[in-house]
A and B are shown apart, each in its own frame.
Chain A
């Protein structure tokens, strides 16, 4: 069965080719069937492979398809690695991916045929790239998938490319990702230089014999790649703008799967990170700073998708905090639970936007709970999950990271738990101003309000169930010994001790208590405050700074974009005047010279003869005096 793993990425690729090439001929129904069907079959195959991998003592299997690059001593096969970690990601990608495909069939139904097929083609290509990313058995295959998902992200953010802002958002995402990719690429070159291989097992086995400085360079550069793809400081600004894409795309790519690629990559190369404490500290600090910064921005956003986008950035920050303190299991666990509840929240937001006829501003919503019952309940469950209230999934995964952070340094914990408070607050602010209170939109919109069709509500319900119960896969040691199923499952890949620093049981109970109390305070405070009197006016004072995202975009514009613009303008000037001047000058010189030479061509035979005689005399003189 494991040998058939290549079918899993190939199926979405086939789907991409079919829907992409025949987009003008396929009916929407057929496109939906191909688009969803290929992912569903891939999911079923993943489940079957999961059944084999989860057994005790299952060894990682490398499935080599063909020789990809073979130069001198370097050999890079096109091979897939099937182990516990990659199969877990396979399940998340194909499972959540299928639900979102299903949701899209209804959400995108207003698009006309070819555009609808183009959407599904991109979505399938994305799933293909993402599967390549997690299945690759070496860094190069991982990088191919890494670039593929970046490309699909660009294509899907700019799906409505006729809108200039959306196109710019797509370009921003692509360019920001490219900056990170450069770091990744250099890291791969460093590995080839030092280890002569990019294969995971070979690199990890040779790593302990290398100097810490060299490894630190590699891990830092890999982390630069991760900051681009997973939207961390300083490259996070593309993710909120990426909300220009259709909402299911935001759910799949910019919340559930692609942005977790960086976490997957670091968890995969945890051997390298364990050897470089300096990088680990950087990862933890950057993750924590991102979590806090993004959560603070989310407090004052009014666009429903923007809040969720900043929330995603913030949650990704948590995952990096987990990776930085060595809680690899916790980080992967949070990837999984986050995939469920964030996909749920985004799809719920999509359902709201659908009902509101495209409106995304929360100030014009309110009281939607009465009309959109399923969306309301599932969204509430998602909010509780992300806020970290037990026994919902977010509580378990977030708490695992936070207690590991406390084991490393109480400061990490303090900032983390404060961010958790903010998270609970802004999520319930979002919930209260959307679903509670009274409707604030136009009369037409109120009339139009309706619950979404089953193709949209079924994924919501499935994801809500997962968001509620997925936490039980990782029950902490203090609550029930040996109940951390996920940790046990991942142990062969991430190693023992992948749960991070140990904390005394009494302390851990205390930490849990603090975070639960804070989550409750945040949730109830926001609920009470915003259900009655939602924020409608323009923010003032510090709120204005938050609403304007700490002016980070403006800051980047001032220190990077504008100087680059000026440099570009200078280069244009240089090109137009100096380079073109030289080229045109040569042309003008030849023209001028030939105009002068034309005068000699007088047609007077006497003149020609004179020149001839002079020439002969010169030749004679040269022969006589110079050439000895």
Chain B
């Protein structure tokens, strides 16, 4: 499969994520959209890694492996972030009985 398809898919996923972050007010959904953007990037990294391996694998078996390690890093960090983020959302719900981010502009006042 040509690399273009992967790129188009990743960009589409990323844009959906951005649009979701911008338009939605529910904290959980925003959270999911952020995950979507992260995974779009992961997908792109894996695709480029594979492409590089196809191009250079004959001479260098290690080619493109660092991108895959990067993806694992991102997944681990994302998992940690999800746990922290969910904890924040839970605390937020406990305090305000709402998970609407627009409700949280009190720092302004």
Contacts and interface: CB of A to CB of B under 8 A. Distances in A.
Interface residues of B, number: 13
Contacts, number: 24
A609 B22 contact: yes
A411 B101 CA distance: 106
Contacts of A602: 105, 108
Contacts of B95: none
B22 A610 contact: yes
B17 to A, nearest CB: 11
A601 B108 contact: yes
B108 A603 contact: yes
A603 B21 CA distance: 16
A605 B99 CA distance: 13
A610 B19 CA distance: 9
B22 A603 contact: no
A613 interface: yes
Interface residues of A, number: 9
A602 B21 CA distance: 17
B63 interface: no
B107 interface: yes
B104 A613 contact: no
Contact of A613 (B22, B105, B107): B22
Contacts of A603: 105-109
A604 interface: yes
B81 to A, nearest CB: 17
A613 B18 contact: yes
Max chain B Cβ within 10 angstroms of own Cβ: one of A602, A604, A606, A609: A606
Given A613-B18, A613-B22, A606 B107 contact: no
Contacts of B25: 606
A604 B105 contact: yes
B102 interface: yes
Contacts of B106: 603
A605 B104 CA distance: 8
Max chain A Cβ within 10 angstroms of own Cβ: one of B104, B105, B109: B105
Given A603-B107, A604-B102, A610-B22, 15 more contacts: A602-B108, A603-B105, A603-B106, A603-B108, A604-B105, A605-B101, A605-B104, A605-B105, A606-B22, A606-B25, A606-B101, A606-B102, A609-B22, A613-B18, A613-B22
24 contacts: A601-B108, A602-B105, A602-B108, A603-B105, A603-B106, A603-B107, A603-B108, A603-B109, A604-B102, A604-B105, A605-B101, A605-B102, A605-B104, A605-B105, A606-B22, A606-B23, A606-B25, A606-B101, A606-B102, A609-B21, A609-B22, A610-B22, A613-B18, A613-B22
